[in-house]
Amino acid sequence: MSRVIDLELDLPPTNEEEIVGVLKVLMQHRGEPGLANYLNIFGPRRARALGLTLEEVERMWDELSPQEFEAALRERAGGLATSLSEFVSELDEAGVEWGLIEAGSNDKTAEIVSQFPHKFIGQATANPHDGMKAVRELERAVRELGLRSFYASPFRYGIRPNDKKFYPLYAKAAELGIPVFVYCTMNYRTDFPMDLAHPISLDDVARDFPEMTIVADCGGWPWVPDMVAVARRHQNVYIDTAAHRPKYLATPGSGWEMLMHFGNTLLQDRIVFASGWANYQMPIKEVVEEMKALPLKEEVKEKWLYGNAARIFRR
């Protein structure tokens, strides 16, 4: 088994601004409710990538002007950027045949896909609060830009997956015949309920749109038994593994026991690999190797890593 499809393939930072940008935004929200908590969760590893501790970054923020702070981080980021061509080579080495990407805007995503059509397919986004404007944007993204799926994110928009503001977009996605990925895990935003994207809300969506392929993003953790139950009820619900290091899926006490059991048996045709590798800053090759090392039947690994995703996208 060597072929791999990654259904949440983060793109690498291609310049110094992209490297320091996330850390800079986190610092700007320091001390505020909501997003500020992500500084505590992800700040340390972002700082380590620049050879700093989070405490050192915070001290620089307090002591330097905004221009000096950014210049200091940019200097440390020198040489850390990866071109898309280099990243494609890394994917080839890791055995990743192709991956699903989202680059911040539908037009930018389409532009990158056009450069590497053999390696990337694009995922569309649209703001459910925009009503019919969002529906038209989703249709444009698919019919004109060639994007192949839709990402519905409670985390981004502060509404649950079964909120009726999402329903016109689900209806359009069903009409277009594209899969819908739904952020389906806890969040660290202290201005949102922790269970904003609880997988139980997908039960409503799956019942109302039985013809639509739904991929539950991030595996439903920490509500994994509920996530498995929803997938057992609905044949159109898949589960992806994004944003969780594969080795922890098989760690006793991690909460993934039920996914590993059912994913190796009754749900083996509806689990898909999605790395979300940027969350834990690991080379994609190492993420793939950890997934291949999971205690699954060999034929099941092939389904998780390749076959199930290939069937969803008919590619």
| 103 and 246 inside one domain | yes
Half-sphere exposure of 304 (CA within 13 A, CB side): 32
**165 and 42 share one domain:** no
Q: What percent of the chain has pLDDT over 70?
A: 100
Query: Does 57 lie in the same domain as 119?
Result: no
pTM: 0.94
Determine the pLDDT at residue 210. Answer: 97
Looking at the structure, tell me whether residues 86 and 231 fall in a common domain. yes
Residue 294 is predicted with a pLDDT of 97
Residues 259 and 117 in one domain: yes
Which tens digits make up the pLDDT trace of 226-267?
999 999 999 999 999 998 999 999 999 999 999 999 999 999
* Residue range of the domain that includes 32: 16-77
Span 287-306, mean pLDDT?
Answer: 97
Instruction: Find the CATH number of the domain harbouring 236.
Output: 3.20.20.140
Domain count, the chain: 2
Q: Could you tell me if 263 and 117 lie in one domain?
A: yes
- End position of a domain, from candidates 77, 99, 124: 77
Query: Is residue 63 exposed (0-12), middle (13-18) or buried (19+ Cβ within 10 Å)?
Result: exposed
The domain boundary, picked from 26, 53, 77, lies at: 77
Predicted confidence (pLDDT) per residue in 61-79, tens digit: 999 999 999 999 999 998 8
Question: Is residue 263 located within the same domain as residue 309?
Answer: yes
Q: Could you tell me if 54 and 197 lie in one domain? A: no
Q: Are residues 278 and 231 in the same domain?
A: yes
Among 227, 231, 215, 250, smallest CA distance to 8 is for 215
Whether residues 278 and 145 fall in one domain: yes
Q: Are residues 42 and 103 in the same domain?
A: no
Co-location of 166 and 269 in the same domain: yes
pLDDT of residue 268: 98
Phi and psi at residue 123, to the nearest 5°: -110, 135
End position of a domain, from candidates 26, 56, 77: 77
